[in-house]
Structure 1
Amino acid sequence: MKKIAVSIGDINGIGIHIALIEHSNIKKICHPLYCAHQEIFEKACDILKVKMPKDMEFLPPKQNIPEIIPAQINSQSGRYSYESFIKACELADKNEVHGICTLPINKKAWNLANVSEIGHTEVLAKRYKKDTIMMLGCEKMFVALFTDHIPLKSVSSHINTQKLISFLLTLYQNLKLKNALVLGINPHCGDGGIIGDEDEKIYQAIEDVNKIIGKEIFIGPIPPDTAFSPSNRKKYSFFVSMYHDVGLAPLKALYFYESVNITLNIPIFRVSVDHGVAYDIAYKSEPNTQSYLNAMNLAIKNGFLYE
């Protein structure tokens, strides 16, 4: 049975509750190792008024045990979620686990804890010195992001033909894609340059990378407002978006509870839930766990997406 390290995320959010709810199901399909102190889970059980499972295995980070303060953003929970993630990475680096699954963090809490990276993906890029690719989705649809956590005003300056060629080629090599639809960036893909010339760079990158691969894998650019039409979703399972929200808004509208987050182009397998800490319901009501279940199932399959 495969071992999966679970980074528990922000202890003031819904992560621990999700892990507790699904432990009995998860243990049937893998051997989960929770990167946290048992005492934190015991405290969470006290707050939630639920029984602590007796067969949970903990591999805690070298970090002081913080207090759980439901729904509060603070540096202590930020530091602990970061150290839990690093512990999971260390286990994967040593081949002590087959992959890692991360529960949600709060980026502001990381900032308060003086973590220099914005989030998980940026830590992985720095740790492994790789150009990581953030891809989110579920069995029905995946969206890979050319740019992820950058301001909207900076996106146009990042559209570069050579960088996009490298990105698309890396995506193909990581997934062995059969095909993928690439979104443009301007309304109507620029209408021949009268509404911006960035889409011409995207078109050139698609043409060049298909020549390198030797077949037509990437199609586009397609105007984002029609890219996710029902007919396109029948023909394509993979989409490439130039900007974070343009690609993820339709994905989350369609498959909010099902989607997961995958980091590509790193030497370990990392998958995550595709939602936040949900402070509004933390320790109050039961969270939806489908994203976590899907993420763990994908980790067990080691990212094989074509079953």
Structure 2
Amino acid sequence: MKKLAISIGDINGIGLEIALRSHELIKEFCIPIYCINKNMLTWGAAWLGLDVPYDFTCKECGDVFDIKPGISNKEAGQLSYDSFTTAITLAQKKEVEGIVTLPINKESWSKAGIKYKGHTDALSDLLDSNAIMMLGCEEMFTILYTHHIPLKSVSETLDTHKLKKFLIKIYESLHVDKIAVLGFNPHAGDGGVIGDEDFVIKKAIKKANKKLDKKVFIGPLVPDTAFTKANREKYKYFACMYHDQGLIPLKALYFDESINVSLDAGIIRTSVDHGTAFDIAYEDAHPSCKSYINAIQEAVKLSLRK
């Protein structure tokens, strides 16, 4: 059975509760190693009124401090980052086959002085890779060309060579023969009437297909109709130019079950596709564990393909 390192996420959020409540189930798929020190684990479980399972194996990391449910602070930010980097180290040392991350709070990372905006850009820097963010579920996946950058900056990143490289990396990671690519402007530019960025995308698609010697990438699709039922029946994978272009339709359709997968990161990494839910943390709200369980199962699948 495959070993997976579990990054516990922000201790002031719902991550620990999800990990504790899901432990018995995920043991059916993997051997989990939880990256958290036992003091914080014990205190968090006590806050939740839950027992720590006897076989809840921990990799000690991070400092000890007071848990403050639903609060963003530097202590929780630092612990979540330490948990994440500990999981990465375990994967690099081949002590686990992959990592699964529970949700962090970006404000807490900032308060802790951590320079990264999220897991994906941290992975890219720490592993000297160019990790691609893919989110979705069995019904549909969206793949993001840009991640956590201001919307006004997206058009500046649209470059034929970079887009071609991005598309080729998607194919090399997935080996899927039909991938839809979204345009950038309304109506995919209407032939240049509404901006010329879509000409760049079209050129990148053509060059990527030529490189692969087959028509893998289709588009640019008009963004406002890209995710119609008819298109979702034709395509499972959608390459999107910016964060909300892919995440709004995905979360509207499959919020509870979607996951995050880092492609071309150097290690296997999957994650839940939701946040820390500070508003319900430690409130006996029984948050949904479906995304986490799907992330565990996807990490196992990916490790079996290696």
What is the TM-score normalised by the length of structure 1?
0.97
Contact 1:145 1:243 in 2 (8 A): yes
CA distance in 1 between counterparts of 2:114 and 2:74 reads 10
Residues 18/245 of structure 1: CA separation in 2 closer, same or farther (3 Å cut)? same
Q: Are residue 25 (structure 1) and residue 8 (structure 2) matched? A: no
Q: Give structure 1 stretches of 5+ with no counterpart.
A: none
- Cα shift at 1:304: 7.2
- Shift of the alpha carbon at 1:131? 1.6
Equivalence for 2:34: 34
Match of 2:253 in 1: 254
2:211 and 2:248 mapped to 1: Cα distance?
A: 31
Return the offset for 1:66: 2.2
Map 1:37-186 onto structure 2 (within 5 A): 37-61=37-61, 63-186=62-185
**Deviation sequence 1:112-151 (CA, Å, 0-9, x none):** 0000111111111101212210010001100000011000
Hey, what does 1:15 align to over in structure 2? 15
Structure-2 residue corresponding to 1:235 = 234
State the SS of the aligned residue for 1:40: helix
CA-to-aligned-CA distance 1:69-88 (integer Å, 9 cap, x gap) = 10010000000000000000
Aligned-partner SS, 2:94? coil
Residue in structure 1 matched with residue 3 of structure 2 by the alignment? 3
Give yes or no for contact 2:131–2:262 (8 Å, CA) kept in 1. Answer: yes
Equivalent positions of 1:278-293 (< 5 A) are 278-284=277-283, 285-293=285-293
Q: How far is 1:266 from its partner? A: 1.7
Write the distance in 2 (CA, Å) between the matches of 1:82 and 1:45: 20
- Counterpart CA distance in 2 for 1:29 and 1:172 is 27
Tell me how far apart the structure 2 counterparts of residues 220 and 281 of structure 1 sit (CA, whole Å): 41
Shift in alpha-carbon separation, 1:303–1:140, aligned structure 2, 3 A:
farther
What percentage of residue pairs aligned between the two structures are identical? 50
SS for the counterpart of 2:46 is helix
Q: Deviations over 1:264-299 (max 9, x none)?
A: 112210000000000000000110100000000011
Contact 1:66/1:80, CA 8 A, preserved across alignment? no
Equivalent residues of 1:298, 1:304 under 8 A apart? no
Map 1:191-230 onto structure 2 (within 5 A).
Answer: 191-230=190-229
- Give the CA deviation at 1:64: 1.5
Structure 2 counterpart of 1:39, which letter? N
Aligned counterparts of 1:297 and 1:149: Cα–Cα separation in 2 = 26
How many residue pairs match? The answer is 304
Alpha-carbon contact 1:103-1:273 (below 8 Å) kept: yes
| Residue identity in the other structure for 1:269 | I
Once residues 232 and 242 of structure 1 are traced to their aligned partners in structure 2, the CA distance between those partners, rounded to angstroms, is 18
Distance in 1 (alpha carbons) for counterparts of 2:193 and 2:277: 42
Cα RMSD between the aligned structures? 1.1
Amino acid corresponding to residue 26 of structure 2 in structure 1 = I
SS of the aligned residue for 1:240 comes to strand
Stretches (4+) displaced over 4 A: none
Partners of 2:179 and 2:43 in 1: how far apart?
Answer: 46
Gap regions ≥5 residues in structure 2? none
Shift of 1:67: 1.7
Cα offsets for 1:97-116 (capped at 9, x unmatched): 01000000000100000001
- Equivalent residues of 2:185, 2:194 under 8 A apart: yes
Deviation of the 1:28 alpha carbon: 1.8
The aligned amino acid for 1:58 is C
